Structure formats: C-alpha cells, structure tokens
Structure 1
C-alpha cells in the first residue's frame, strides 16, 4: 500500500513558506551559520521526509530548489537524507535517537559523505580500522558549523562521528570562493548503521537529484533576473529584450529549464510513489540536467553582459552553485550509461509507459487491442511496403477507425463525440504511433466548426469528418506570407450570395482532400492587418482551382494552388467576416498543445527501432552496442527524448485543466522538432553511409526510415509556425519581454 503523502496543495503551501522565509533572511542565507540552522529548524525544514506526513523526495526537491535560488549553503539535503533513511528503525542506539531529535531541533548539524561510493571519485575515501573510522573526504559542505559527520563505509554501513577531536577540516576554495572543505578523520564513530549496496546506490541517486534541484533553483533564479534585466536595460534607444538575438537566447534557456524541471519533478514523484521504473526516470533527469543547466548558466551570463561579472551581483554565486551541484555526485557519464544499458543490453528496451490515470490506461488498452486486431498481419505488412507518400494517409483505415468513433474522441458529446480527456487523447496518439498507423481525422478543422461554425455547417461537415470520410487541406501560406499570416494577399470579394476568391497558396499539404480550409483577405485596408482575414471551407472540385503538385525532399508532396475567380457560397464562411484570425488562432490553441507530443512520439518510435538494430549490428566484427561512443550517444538521446515526453504530458495536464497557453505549446513544438533533427543526424553518425540508402533499395537499413526521418524533420521545424517565430512567442508571451 502506498504511503499517505502530502498533496500538491500541501507542496504549494510549503513552497510559498520556504520562499518567504528565505526572502526574509536573504542577507544571511548564503553563508551557513548556527543561527541560520536554528531558524531553518524552527521552520520545520530539518524534518523534511522524517515521516510520510513530512513528505518525500518531492518535498526535498522543492526545498532544494528554493535553497538554490537564494544560494543557501546550509546542509538541508543532508538532513533530509538522514530523515529519509529512517535510521532509528535500523538501529535503536540511544545516541542515534538523541542525535536525530537534536537534528530536528536544530541543535545538531550533520554533513553527509558517500566517500568511496560516490560516482565521481572526488568525495574521497573512508574505512573502518578496528573500531576507528579513518577517512579523507573531499568537497564537504558546511564543515565549519557541523556537529556530526555521516559517512558511508564499506560493509556497507553509515558511520556517524562527532566533529571535534580526531576530525580536522581544511577550507578548499571552489571557483574562486570558499564554501567547500577537505576533512580528515581518525576517530571512533558513535554508531554504525548497516545498509545494503543497493540501498546506498539508491540513496546516492536521491542525493544527486536533490543537488540537481538546487542547481536548477540557482539557474532559474539567475535566468529570471536576466529576463528582468533584458526588459529594463536599454541600448540603441530600446530595451535589449526587444532584440531578437536576446529573445531567442532567453527562449532557449526557458526551454532547457522546462526540460529539467519536468524531468526532476517526475523522477521525484516516481520515487515517492514507489514506481518500479523510478531509477530510469532519475537517470533521465540527471542526464538532462547535467548539460542543460550548465549551458543555461553560461547563456544567462552572456545575457547579463559585464554586469554579471561583478561579485556584487547575484549572478556569480548562482553560476558557481550550478557547476558545483552538477558535479558533486558525479558527472553525466553514469546516468547516460544507465540509459544506454536499458536500451542496448536488453531485448525489451523501450521507454517506460506513463500512468495516464484509470481512464487513460483503460483507453490505451482498448486502442491497443483494436490495432492488434485490425492493423496487424498482412494488412499492416502491405501498408509498410508502400512509399512514404502512399503511407501518409489510408482512406480504408480512416473509414475503419471512423466506425469506432475515436476520430471524435475529444469532441463534445453534442457533436456525437466521446468527450474524452487529454490523457485519453494522449493514449490514442501513443498507440497509433506504436502501431505505425496512418494519420486520420481533421482536428483543427473540426475544432473550428465546433466553435465558430453555424448549426447548418456543423450538421453538414462534422459527421463526415467523424466517419473518416472527409479530408481537409490547410490553405494558409503564400509567396510573401509564410509565418506572417497577417500579410496574406488572397482576396475574397462578396458578390451576392457568394464570395469570389483570387490568389495563390503555396506549400499546401493534403491538397488532394475533399476540402480546403482557406484563409483569405476580405478587407485590404483593415487595421491591424489581421483584422481583415476571413476563413472559408472550399470544396476542391470548385471551378477555377488549379493545383500544381511538387515533390518534397522528404518523399511527400505539397502543391502550389491558384484560385482564379473561384466562387464560394457565403454559407461556407466560418465565423463572421473579418474574424478569420480569431477563428484560426482559437482552433489551433488546443491542437498546438499536442503538436510537440506527436513529434516526440515519432522520434521515440524511431529511436526504439534504431536501438533494436544496434543491439544485433556489428562493426568491423565487433558488436556495435559495446562501442562506448555509441552508448554515450544513445544514452544522451534517450534523456533528450524523455524530456520531450515530459513536455508532452505537461501540455496534456494543462489542456485537461482547460488551459491552452500558446507559449507552453511552443516550448514543446520547438524542442521536439529540433530533437527530431538531432536524432536523425546522430543516427547517421552511428550507422554510417549505409544508413543513407533509401527505402525500396537493397540493403536499406531499417527500410530507409532513418534517413527519411531526417529529411522529414525539416518540415516539423518550419511548419505550423517556424521555430524562430515560436521562440519569439515564448519570449514575448511566456517571459513577458517587449514586442
């Protein structure tokens, strides 16, 4: 049975209380002192994780983030680890019981060391010599105020000694400042507490996560200051935060910080919930953070410019904290190798399934069973022999899926939909990608019709979408209006009961469908320009439409489409005249929340196929999976994909709460699209020239899917708003930088 743990509301209250406390003592918090320790104890922070009611790893992470923000060096994480070990249940020595009580009151300050168990080797060594503990420890924090040291020795066991006779501490400046100590011990421990090797490894992982949380707090605080500085600092007559270079730099930092925040939070939650895969999620979080936080720290300093060099500013101490914390329990190497082993050393290596809740999990099984029955055997094999363009859409499959009603799984029931939530939609996307099924439906068009369509339009068009019978293209981009839709030129002029449309659309995919959702300008003099846009449903059989297809570099097609005196009934207008911008952006809001998720699911599927190939492939007579370079790249990719999956789940959580923040969807889309590119390039590095052989040719690795995936990835970075536009959106709407 799971322990009764604090709720999300409890954690929010704790966060606000801790931040408020640190703000009140900010002038005394950087340097750990006995006074500060007593104050921390009075706030109950030395009791975190002492019992289920006092929290678990999520609470430790929360407190560490707040400590990182204020550059607090007090050993709160060490106290939490002592609490988490439940030492009194392992050894009922009176001295130990008294010590834990003193820790909670703030009368004892305990610093921990994993000594020889530490992954990086810099923590030093410790051993028992008869009844004495002999040790030389590196990088001990707050050794000048500790009353006790707790050190893991081989056995394994936790040895606790009093600071004093037989314990000598020597300051070791780190990155130019004091704060770390080398400690030599030759003393009799007051108690020895037995552990298993597995327990020590798990505690070390917890310690690494808590340090990573402190690094995240420091990086996040410096980043927030850099954003505020960019909004205020003026150069060339305007705030530097208006410059695209600064906006995009800070948007990149925001994306990286979101990846770290989500993966740490998930790892901590999985630990608290005693999930079997928590170690995997922890490795992914540690591997993600190791490079990301240090890069954010560098970019933040770049944004500050010379002001960030000054020791009078906060930035330098946050820079130090990030680097110290990320190396304290070892580098990125160990968690990356752990991820690589998961995928390369086991035939069943795959990404762990998320718990999507009772309804989401049940629906996942329902969809999986349907796909296993309908989309398997000869039908699926025949489909996979087709070219990429032919695989993209399958009308027979769409009609079969239409019979399930799942095309409208998230539609309101008044439109004959199933009214399912975001996590059921996520389950559907996962299973469709797992099975390699073709895309179906017209989600953006359906959303537009449900919100802005007339009752007649809804009765006419929605049922055929739901049945899998109608296919829609999206007529947006023009020669001079790609991402800048507000400048489109295609005109629609009212003529009685019709509109007459003239213009050109380019890069139009799904041009072969029954309808085009067409953006036009009905008022050329509107101010602002987007106020003059109107949307129409245009049947593609309408006279005056000329389609000129063009093959894409990724094996698909798009078209230049010319509209010459195309007459469309006024009843085909969606929304009022001039409201096209609202119609378009409103319908895209929710769907954009899942775009990044759809991309990352494709990457995850291809990654698993790549790992399956590497597990059996050889290079120069040696198994590829044993190559350390291969393992490092696979482990790194696994961590990056997991961060993208967490962004996908985060967007689903927001949608489930009725929120559709465009900046969060943009974060997921930018990250996932560029991840798809990185995956393709990395896969080619690993597989070599043979991986460039395309589908249908003899010897094509994985049927040519790797190189085709790379070519296709370019579309996801450019389409649905280029990533540069998305970065500007993140900076302006998410971070509040000036437009």
Structure 2
C-alpha cells in the first residue's frame, strides 16, 4: 500500500466511532466492578477479533501504531480490559520472525484462538515486576502486574534481546492469581514453577523501542479513560445546581475544566504525533514517544483528580462510572516505570554524547524551503558586527530596529500570509511558522503590525487599505494598540475614552494605559461612540490615530522586563472621519475579529521563544566550568530538562494544530486560547527552572559583570508575565475555553 493509501485521519475517526458503538453494544462499563471477570474478557476479545483489531501492528500497511492508539483509547473510554495491549506487543515483537512457532502463534492470535498475556519480565523498568529464568525449556519465576492473564491462553515474555519465552497458561507449573491494584481487578500475578516453555528466536527484539510502544499504548488507554470521565464531569457541571445556578457557571469550575481540556488536547496531539512519526519511520520517534509518556502521565493524573473534584461526593461513590476511570488512569500512567523512566530517555537524547537539539518540525516542502531561505538571508543581513552592535544595546533599545524592519520590508515577508490582493504573498500558516521560528532562532527584532493589518484587511475601506497596508508591508510604519484603560483591562467593554463627531472630524478624549509600541507612527485606538449602548460593547468604534496629532500627551514608563509602555492622554484630539475602521459602534467586531485571526499563531510564537531559550540553557548545562561537576550529569537537572522538553513539544503540537485549523480558515478562538494559555505559562515555568538550575549568577541582569548571556534567563522570566497578561489575560482565555469549547453556561 502506498503512503497515500495508508489509513488517514478520516479512517482513524471511523475506526474510533465504530469501536465506540461496538463496545457500547457489547460491553457493560460496570463489568469489572464485580471483580475478576475472565470469561467476560475472553468473550469481548473474541468479538473484537472479528473487528480486525488483533492484527494491528503486524502489517504496517493495515494500520500502525496510530491506529493502535485509537483502539486503546476507545477501550479506555469503555473501561474494557480486553488484551489488546498484549496482542499489540506480540505483533510488534514477532514481526518479521519467520519461524514456525512465531508464524503459528500470530496466526492463532489473529484468528482469536490464542489470547496472549505479555510481560516484559526482567526488562520492565519497574523493579517489582519480577522475572523468569528458562533452563532446559522449563520456565520458573514470578511475574507481577500481568494484564488479563486470567483470560489468556498463553504468556509471552522477552528473555533476551533475541528471544521470547512462550508458556501455555493451562500447562503444568503455572499459577495465576488475580491482583487487586488501585481497587481494581485488571492485573494478575503469574508464578511459574518449571513450566514448559517454547523459545521463539527473533533477529533483534529492540526491547527499548518495544517498551516505548507499550507505554504509548497505555497512555492512550489512560487518555481515553480520562477523556470519558472529563466529558461526564462537563455534562454534570451543566446540570448540577448549587446556590441557585449550574455549578458550570462558577468561574472556579470553568477554569478547572478549562485546565483539564488544555491538558487533554495536549495529550491527544503529542500521542498521535509520536505514533505518526513511528509509522513514518522517523528517526526522532523515540524522543517524541518519551516526551508523550512524560507529559501524559502527569497530565492525565491531574485531569483525573480535577474531574473527581468537580463531581464532588457523587463521583466518590463506587456506583458512579468515574471511579473506574480514575483507577485506570493511575494504573496505566505508573506502569513500565511511568513518567520518570520516560524522562531518562529524554535526558539521554538531549545531554548524552554531545547532546542533540530539539528536533526541527517538518513544515512541508514550502515551509522547509522558506526556513532555509530566511536563515541564509539573516546570515547575510543580520550577522557579525551589525547584530553584535544591536545586541550590545540595553533591552529597551532592542525591541525594534528601524533599518532592519526596512530591510525585511524589501523581502515581502512582513506580508507573508496576507492575500495577494493586498500585496501579500498568500503563504500558508506553516510557512508563517517557518519565518517566526527562524527569526526567533536568530534573535532578530520584531517586525510588522499583524493585528492592525488584519483589521484593515478585514474591515478597512479600500482607501484605508491603499494608504496604510503598503506602509506596514514595507516596514515603514508601526502601529500601537490603544485598548486598555485604568478601569478597562480585560474588560474592554468598560472603556471610557470617547470619540464624538464634530463636523468632518472625530474628537477623542480620554486615557489609555499600558500601551506598548507607543513610539509607533499610528495608534489603533478603541473609543466609545455611544455611552448609552446596551450591551456596553455595542457602543465602541475603532480608529487609526496618527501619533503626531496635536493633543496627544505621552508619559513613557519602564516595564518590569526593562521594556517600555506608556500612559497616553488624548485631549481634544481631532482626526478625519475616514480614520474610522469599520462601522460606527461596530468596533467590537473589528477588535475581536482581528484578534481572533492573530491568536491562532500567538501561542506558537511564544513556544518558539521558549524553544530557543531552552537551547541556550541546554548549551550552558553541557558546558564544562572549571572544577565544578558537569550540570548535564546531575540527575535532578536532567529530569527537569526532560520535563521542560516534553512540555515544549506539547506547546509545539498545539502550535501545529492551530496552523492546520488556520489553513482551513480562521483558528477557532478557543484553540488559539488553548495554545496561548499553555505556552505563556510554560514560558513562566521555563524562567523559574532556568534560574533554579543555573543558580544566582543567572539572576544578574543585562550589562552586569559576569551576567550569563547578558541576563537572558532572568529577563526571560520577567518578560514571561507580559505574555500571560497580554492579548487577553489567561483567566479570560480560560473562561472563553470553558464557554466556547465545553459549552458551559455564561
């Protein structure tokens, strides 16, 4: 089967829908509550074999790891402990083995006449998992935590990098005892006492990679369980009333569930990405598998706990479905060494044998080509003495560079994603990511006025578009955003700055605060044109105000990250009528429409900043320093770097998902919000972690003697707070996610 004939996203969705309906018809979610149920598990597995899932993993053309993860997630949703996990591992372990024993075993497995319980034995990272020894084709030993062993016909255990032992479960010397773990009965203890064993030779078992696949499958099942419980909690929050209203209307519940949704989406994307890379044969798939396991384990447990908190006492009762999923999540996420073992793999990738950079994402042929083109342009135009002179300036002087903006303007890249009718290049969101990423890696100054340009393209008159867009495109004009006021921060509908029509002019009076880019040529200003409008946001209009207009008084202030903003007073500022953007009293649509268009890539821009800073931190950790022990060898440092790396990959996955959505139109606001919330708060955590690892010297600020990278890391932390607050505080974004994505009441 060709690459284009392999299973697609649509076929995976069909697989999920089909299995969900099938399990809903043939499996009762409360079956496992009654204790060990080997007959029921054997029966449902026989039916699932008829659906074709038993052969997944044996033939890549029929479906690979991505399809397996879909099946495991649906089993998790249904609280069904059918031995799919073991069947998958048997398929992977025996793939390519042509012995009569292996071929026969797989044939019986796929036909449903053999049900396999798989154990890693001595290869299990959990030291309590047990092991067996095989002498004279007799197996002895104790294996713990064996799934569904009571319903299986055979036990399969790796005993060397090139051999597995196969034991008939009904043979002599085999004892199987159900094990109650986390209050559930899905595991078993298997004791072998000189049990007859068949040795199956394989060319190369690749146990470490098999462990990664096994862990991804468990995380997928845990994700299915956590997602199901979460959905039940969301429905409950819509119906359960306390203090006279649905609890889903309380901000505390909305934000709790929004946090859960962010984590679940991160898990969904990173698991699927790891599976996709595996099925494509990408050399980085083990790294992404470890990142997926590291992030998923902790994220899913957090979701599981918060779900129970939302249910309160009703979810604490065993009669409810939620406790089943709580138990499954915690069992699956600690198995095979859990997150800690996955982080060992990430640390090794990043820091051993010279270390490796975070892998570059495939942005498609056009995106990859543009990334290289921009890299070469920067090497020729933003390097050596020019860049060194810029970097030597205080941060406040490095927010913008006039000459650089004009040089970039000649390339047309400021309008990379603009439609061609406005002079843009009409490039894809992936190409826009390529530009942002490469500029960030080279620490180039910011360019353009994306939100304002979007507003003009969406709502401006032809005359406005012809006047202002070319200036932005050429890098000649920067636009500030005049939104916030003393009593109107996130609540922009409360703004008081007014604009009144006087003949052929608008007269503006009021105050704006926290205005960045106050030094720009224009201000994109929100002002009230109807003070009695109901609701209040219905009386707002948007204006372009030249900053050299009489009556504007600017009072700059220094930000906590050494940048600047200004308090700006508008005192009888007169501008022409045609400086109105959009309709009178229609400014809310202009403001939110432009922001929605841009928010889809805001989170991506932030996580790319974090990824670049991470690389600088990684290099410092690997650098030898006098007689001090190498930080790269410190197990705590390695673990913390691994945690950061896994979260960066989730942030990048959210970025890529927003780009995919944007390719089909505007990214839904709730998904832009998810990416922005996750990445901005990751930026905060990165700053804290960098200081913890590097110590007090990293707290020395720019232009101080011995400051590390001219104060880069401490300034990253101070700067991170801006991203959490700007373009809508994260608290507002969480409310948006809860109401738009989850349908919770306002």
TM-score (ref. length: structure 1): 0.97
Instruction: Give 3-state SS (helix, strand or coil) of 1:268's partner.
Output: helix
C-alpha contact 1:644 1:671 (8 A) present in aligned 2: yes
Partner residue of 2:189? Answer: 182
- 2:91 aligned residue (76, 83, 89): 83
C-alpha contact 1:347 1:612 (8 A) present in aligned 2: no
Cα distance, 1:245–1:370 mapped onto 2, change above 3 Å:
same
- 1:52 aligned residue (47, 56, 60): 60
Q: Structure 2 CA distance, aligned partners of 1:618 and 1:378?
A: 28
Partner residue of 2:76? Answer: 68
1:550-565 maps to which residues of 2 (within 5 A)? 550-565=557-572
Q: Structure 1 CA distance, aligned partners of 2:404 and 2:24?
A: 59
Partner residue of 2:20? Answer: 19
1:101 aligns with 2:107: yes
1:198-277 maps to which residues of 2 (within 5 A)? 199-277=206-284
Q: Give 1:2 deviation, angstroms.
A: 7.5
Q: Give 1:278 deviation, angstroms.
A: 0.5
C-alpha contact 1:126 1:152 (8 A) present in aligned 2: no
Q: Structure 2 CA distance, aligned partners of 1:702 and 1:195?
A: 50
Q: What is the Cα-based RMSD across aligned positions, in Å?
A: 1.5
- 2:411 aligned residue (398, 404, 416): 404
Q: Structure 2 CA distance, aligned partners of 1:190 and 1:591?
A: 61
C-alpha contact 1:680 1:710 (8 A) present in aligned 2: yes
C-alpha contact 1:345 1:615 (8 A) present in aligned 2: no
Q: Which runs of 5+ in 1 are unaligned?
A: none
- 1:378 aligned residue (369, 373, 385): 385
- More deviation in 641-650 or 1-10? 1-10
Partner residue of 1:147? Answer: 153
C-alpha contact 2:161 2:207 (8 A) present in aligned 1: no
C-alpha contact 1:344 1:612 (8 A) present in aligned 2: no
Q: Give 1:372 deviation, angstroms.
A: 1.4
Q: Give 1:155 deviation, angstroms.
A: 4.7
Q: Which runs of 5+ in 2 are unaligned?
A: none
C-alpha contact 1:2 1:274 (8 A) present in aligned 2: no
Q: Give 1:352 deviation, angstroms.
A: 0.3
CA offsets 1:591-628 (integer angstroms, 9 cap, x no match): 10111111111111111101111111549722122111
CA offsets 1:561-604 (integer angstroms, 9 cap, x no match): 00010011011100110110001111111210111111111111
Q: Structure 2 CA distance, aligned partners of 1:422 and 1:261?
A: 21
Q: Structure 1 CA distance, aligned partners of 2:495 and 2:626?
A: 53
Partner residue of 1:465? Answer: 472
- 1:434 aligned residue (433, 437, 441): 441
Q: Structure 2 CA distance, aligned partners of 1:656 and 1:692?
A: 41
C-alpha contact 1:297 1:322 (8 A) present in aligned 2: yes
Q: Give 1:633 deviation, angstroms.
A: 1.1
C-alpha contact 1:654 1:660 (8 A) present in aligned 2: yes
Q: Give 1:79 deviation, angstroms.
A: 1.1
Q: Structure 1 CA distance, aligned partners of 2:536 and 2:419?
A: 33
1:196 aligns with 2:204: yes
1:444 aligns with 2:451: yes
1:334-413 maps to which residues of 2 (within 5 A)? 334-347=341-354, 349-413=356-420
Q: Give 1:482 deviation, angstroms.
A: 0.3
Q: Structure 1 CA distance, aligned partners of 2:632 and 2:664?
A: 43
Partner residue of 1:587? Answer: 594
Q: Give 1:180 deviation, angstroms.
A: 1.1
C-alpha contact 1:349 1:608 (8 A) present in aligned 2: no
Q: Structure 2 CA distance, aligned partners of 1:348 and 1:575?
A: 53
Instruction: Give 3-state SS (helix, strand or coil) of 2:197's partner.
Output: coil
C-alpha contact 2:270 2:653 (8 A) present in aligned 1: yes
Instruction: Give 3-state SS (helix, strand or coil) of 2:337's partner.
Output: coil
Q: Structure 2 CA distance, aligned partners of 1:118 and 1:306?
A: 37
Q: Structure 1 CA distance, aligned partners of 2:624 and 2:577?
A: 61
- 1:683 aligned residue (665, 685, 690): 690
CA offsets 1:370-406 (integer angstroms, 9 cap, x no match): 1111111111111111111111101100000000000
1:515 aligns with 2:522: yes
Partner residue of 2:7? Answer: 6
Q: Give 1:684 deviation, angstroms.
A: 1.1
1:39 aligns with 2:47: yes
- More deviation in 512-521 or 46-55? 46-55
- 1:708 aligned residue (715, 719, 735): 715
CA offsets 1:528-557 (integer angstroms, 9 cap, x no match): 111111000000000000000011110011
Partner residue of 1:663? Answer: 670
Partner residue of 2:128? Answer: 122
Q: Give 1:348 deviation, angstroms.
A: 5.2
Q: Structure 2 CA distance, aligned partners of 1:279 and 1:353?
A: 15
- More deviation in 401-410 or 361-370? 361-370
C-alpha contact 1:552 1:558 (8 A) present in aligned 2: yes
C-alpha contact 2:102 2:200 (8 A) present in aligned 1: no
May I ask how many residue pairs the two structures share in their alignment? Answer: 736
C-alpha contact 2:274 2:292 (8 A) present in aligned 1: yes
Q: Structure 2 CA distance, aligned partners of 1:342 and 1:615?
A: 13
TM-score (ref. length: structure 2): 0.97
CA offsets 1:146-174 (integer angstroms, 9 cap, x no match): 01111110253112121112211011111
